Chains A and B, each alone.
Chain A
Amino acid sequence: MSWTGKILRVNLTEGTVAAEPLNMQWAQQYLGQRGLASKYLLEETDPKCDPLGPDNKMIMATGPLTGTMAATGGRYSVVTKSPLTNCIACSNSGGFIGAEMKHAGWDMIIFEGCSPTPVYLYIENDQAELVDASEIWGTSVWHTDEWLHNKYQDPLLRISAVGRSAESGCLYAAIINDLHRAAGRSGVGTVMASKNLKAVAVRGTLGVGNIKQPERFMQVVNENKAILAANPVTGQGLPAYGTQVLMNVINEIGALPAKNMQEVQFDGAHDISGEAMHEPRKSDGKPNLTTNAACFGCTIACGRISTIAQGHFTVENKAKYWGNSGGLEYEAAWALGADTEINDLDALTYANFLCNEDGYDPITFGSTVAAAMELYEMGVITDAQTGGVAFNFGSAEALAKAAEWVATGEGFGKDLALGSKRLCEKYGHPELSMTVKGQEFPAYDPRGIQGIGLNYATSNRGACHVRGYTIASEVLGVPVKTDPLVSEGKPDLVKAFQDATAAVDSSGLCLFTTFAWDMTNIAPQIDAACEGEWTAEKLVELGERVWNMERQYNMQAGITRADDTLPERLKSEEGAARTGPAKGKFSEVEKMLPEYYEKRGWNEDGAPTDETLNRLGL
């Protein structure tokens, strides 16, 4: 049946761990991972709760295909209430720990309460215990990982952990697993640290052996692996260049936000692109990129493994950064580079290493640095705040310092750790924060790509590309090409992408498969593995159900129509794109929003109607 049918419930206040059966009726309605964990969160917590208080819960959830041989079947999600957005947070990660949880026999781990002292959770198959973490509290993710591996003398232990940024209250702290994969967005790591939970270490040797129709499963898995291999994006572009394949493409169409989104193109884009990562460095003659790398079971392998030149100013005399580690993905390279107008690839890689070492989201971090740079150039933030560091756009030195400060929560890092919304409010310029619902934008400009702007405005976790990646259609032509510059037809497109994504995120598979697969590829894999009948139609409806449930959570948390919007800079003539193919364009989000609500079956205040809720069984 592919679910293990077991949940591990960890009460951190009481220090207890207990197994309980998975609600299989909910599994049929919400599948797993994002959908099923969100259902548990909505049922078990008050959406008005303090995200950093003991009443918030944090759920680590696998999908039914996690841990199987289905290509990319290694995903897990962290679902909780976000301290950055006060909305529902759902951050999805690859690497290996999701599959390990499943192989240890658990569909999900629910953390509740708050431990009086720092602890970590150790799981070995059906045995689980909370262990004193005082020796690793106050240390980085990388140190914690090494310490746990040494303690247990087990190289096969898989570890998720939070770093010093989370402990010091950075509102966009991530949970890092396997050293450089991240449940990255919305501050899920901040929630974990607020519970005094330092790490989760898992060893699973039971595997997944309860596939419903094993022979059929292997057949459809193999057919769909072949489709990924034959597709130009998943078979060639992503393995060769990673998501960084997009840097030059998006810059050329004039949709690469730059200089805290004042501009839509960046002169230095090529210097920080996927192509540049392959080119020999002037400094040491080696390319930034060593190799590509896969997450568990993934036949795409978009991950980047990189080095920084040993003589680079960021790592001089710091040998621990001289080896290989997780390199730049597109969103990180954009936020750390284009949005700050820094074209030093190794400096961005250094900041990226620090984001992994101490666990914080490079998108929100880079965007917050960009906002601070704009405030610095306006004279609002001065050397008094930055400790004498010139915080101008284009300064790789400023970026490196900022990354070090946020990692440990020191100095100006305390301001930067607030995220751009609270930082800009603190300095009296809320209009300079490029956020929706308090979360920073990723790397696609809503002036030059209209559909993605509507997706940002309506995303249930604040500005986010992986809630409805209309870039696939508007830029790459998957499944059909639509014109990025027009808003007509986009509400339908956004809804379709959002619903399909919610289903994929509930399955254990990676969203990147959908460059090559649609629901008719995914449904048979779930159907062959899982109890019940799983069709493409059922999955689409399930995705819509999940989307509406998240919306219900957010509305109960206090979100209104007024929050479904974009910053003035992006939707006004004054902020219109100044160069490139989108010159003169601004986001038509306000025009698209009423039609989007209508397509969703929501009233004009953005609330799902009774009819919609009934139709979806909510």
Chain B
Amino acid sequence: MQKALLIDPDKCTGCLQCELACSYEHEGVFNPSKSRIRVFTFHQEGRFVPYTCTQCSEAWCQQACPVDAITLNADTGAKEVSDSACVGCKVCTIACPFGTVNYNQVTGKVIKCDLCGGDPKCVSACPTQAIVYVDADQTGYEKMRQWAKETDNNPAASA
């Protein structure tokens, strides 16, 4: 069973623990500017929104890559960048409609979320469960449950 990242901005406090865990896992350094997941602050609205790659099935980045450096991990469903194949042409960063593939000046390669091979570190780092890792076919389950709870099924109350 494949899993997917499910993000609930209402739970996010903007602490950046996910960015620190991500950059540490992939680069061995605590450095938000090298994180594959980013948290956006909308100050006027009082909202914090984590955002990262959704692992498209027909991934624009994968299709755009001229050297086949982006491949499917069949176990996790992640589209992974092979550093040995990537030539840093950045066509994938243009192709991605969501901006979640980015260039890394230090290595000359692109970086994107790879779901940490099936154990995403942003999920375990998040203190508020704003990022969870769930059955890829059931990402709407919790939201459905919340709405189901709102459904008025008490006859007395509707009288």
A→B interface (CB under 8 Å): 67-69, 71, 96, 103, 156, 179, 204-209, 214, 218, 222, 225, 228-229, 239, 290-299, 301, 303, 305-307, 323-325
Interface residues on B, range: 20 to 34
Which one of B21, B27, B33, B47 has the highest number of Cβ atoms from chain A below 10 Å of its Cβ? B33
Complex interface: chain B residues within 8 A of A67 (CB): 30
Q: Does B43 contact A (CB under 8 A)?
A: yes
A293 to B23, CA, bound (A): 22
Over the window 1-43 of chain B, the binary record of Cβ atoms lying under 8 Å from chain A Cβ atoms (1 yes, 0 no) is 0000000000001111100110110011111111000000001
Complex interface: chain A residues within 8 A of B48 (CB): 291, 293
Identify the closest chain B residue to A291 (Cβ).
B46
Complex interface: chain A residues within 8 A of B24 (CB): 69, 214, 218
Let me know if B17 and A207 touch, CB within 8 A: no
Looking at the complex, which one of B21, B31, B125, B128 makes contact with A207 (CB distance below 8 Å)?
B31
Over the window 119-144 of chain B, the binary record of Cβ atoms lying under 8 Å from chain A Cβ atoms (1 yes, 0 no) is 00000110110000000000000000
Over the window 45-69 of chain B, the binary record of Cβ atoms lying under 8 Å from chain A Cβ atoms (1 yes, 0 no) is 1111000000000000000000000
Complex interface: chain B residues within 8 A of A291 (CB): 13, 46-48
Q: List 20 A-B contacts (CB under 8 A).
A: A68-B30, A156-B33, A205-B33, A205-B34, A207-B27, A207-B30, A208-B30, A209-B27, A209-B30, A209-B31, A291-B47, A292-B13, A294-B13, A298-B13, A299-B15, A307-B46, A323-B45, A323-B46, A324-B43, A324-B44
A294 to B46, CA, bound (A): 12
Identify the closest chain A residue to B28 (Cβ).
A209
Complex interface: chain B residues within 8 A of A68 (CB): 20, 30
Let me know if A179 and B43 touch, CB within 8 A: yes
Looking at the complex, which one of B14, B46, B125 makes contact with A69 (CB distance below 8 Å)?
B125
Complex interface: chain A residues within 8 A of B30 (CB): 67-69, 103, 207-209
A218 to B46, CA, bound (A): 31
Complex interface: chain A residues within 8 A of B28 (CB): 209, 214
Top 7 A-B pairs, shortest CB-CB distance: A207-B31, A324-B46, A209-B29, A323-B44, A294-B15, A290-B46, A299-B127
Let me know if B15 and A301 touch, CB within 8 A: yes
**A207-B27, A229-B127, A323-B45 given. 6 additional CB < 8 A pairs?**
A228-B127, A291-B13, A291-B47, A293-B13, A299-B15, A301-B127
Complex interface: chain A residues within 8 A of B27 (CB): 207, 209
A297 to B44, CA, bound (A): 22
Looking at the complex, which one of A206, A292, A299, A325 makes contact with B17 (CB distance below 8 Å)?
A299
Smallest CB separation, A98 vs chain B (Å): 13
Which one of A156, A291, A295, A307 has the highest number of Cβ atoms from chain B below 10 Å of its Cβ? A291
Let me know if B15 and A297 touch, CB within 8 A: yes
Identify the closest chain A residue to B31 (Cβ).
A207
A68 to B16, CA, bound (A): 11
Identify the closest chain B residue to A102 (Cβ).
B30
Looking at the complex, which one of A205, A298, A306 makes contact with B15 (CB distance below 8 Å)?
A298
Complex interface: chain B residues within 8 A of A208 (CB): 29-31
Identify the closest chain A residue to B44 (Cβ).
A323
Let me know if B20 and A69 touch, CB within 8 A: yes
Let me know if B15 and A296 touch, CB within 8 A: yes
Let me know if B31 and A206 touch, CB within 8 A: yes
Which one of B20, B23, B28, B47 has the highest number of Cβ atoms from chain A below 10 Å of its Cβ? B20
A208 to B24, CA, bound (A): 9
Identify the closest chain A residue to B11 (Cβ).
A291
Smallest CB separation, A480 vs chain B (Å): 27
Smallest CB separation, B22 vs chain A (Å): 11
A497 to B48, CA, bound (A): 35
Complex interface: chain B residues within 8 A of A298 (CB): 13, 15
Looking at the complex, which one of B14, B20, B127 makes contact with A293 (CB distance below 8 Å)?
B14
A586 to B48, CA, bound (A): 46
Complex interface: chain B residues within 8 A of A207 (CB): 23, 27, 29-34
Complex interface: chain B residues within 8 A of A71 (CB): 17, 127
Complex interface: chain B residues within 8 A of A204 (CB): 33
Smallest CB separation, A528 vs chain B (Å): 13
Let me know if A103 and B20 touch, CB within 8 A: no
A325 to B44, CA, bound (A): 7
A301 to B29, CA, bound (A): 23
Smallest CB separation, B125 vs chain A (Å): 7
Smallest CB separation, B124 vs chain A (Å): 8
Complex interface: chain B residues within 8 A of A222 (CB): 124
A103 to B29, CA, bound (A): 10
Complex interface: chain B residues within 8 A of A69 (CB): 17, 20-21, 24, 30, 125
Known: A69-B24, A207-B30, A229-B127. A297 touches B17 (CB 8 A): yes
Looking at the complex, which one of B16, B47, B124, B127 makes contact with A296 (CB distance below 8 Å)?
B16
A214 to B25, CA, bound (A): 11
A228 to B127, CA, bound (A): 10
Which one of B32, B47, B48 has the highest number of Cβ atoms from chain A below 10 Å of its Cβ? B32
A209 to B32, CA, bound (A): 12
Identify the closest chain B residue to A305 (Cβ).
B46
A291 to B32, CA, bound (A): 23
Complex interface: chain B residues within 8 A of A325 (CB): 43
A507 to B119, CA, bound (A): 31
A204 to B33, CA, bound (A): 8
Complex interface: chain B residues within 8 A of A293 (CB): 13-14, 46, 48
Let me know if A301 and B13 touch, CB within 8 A: yes
Complex interface: chain A residues within 8 A of B47 (CB): 291
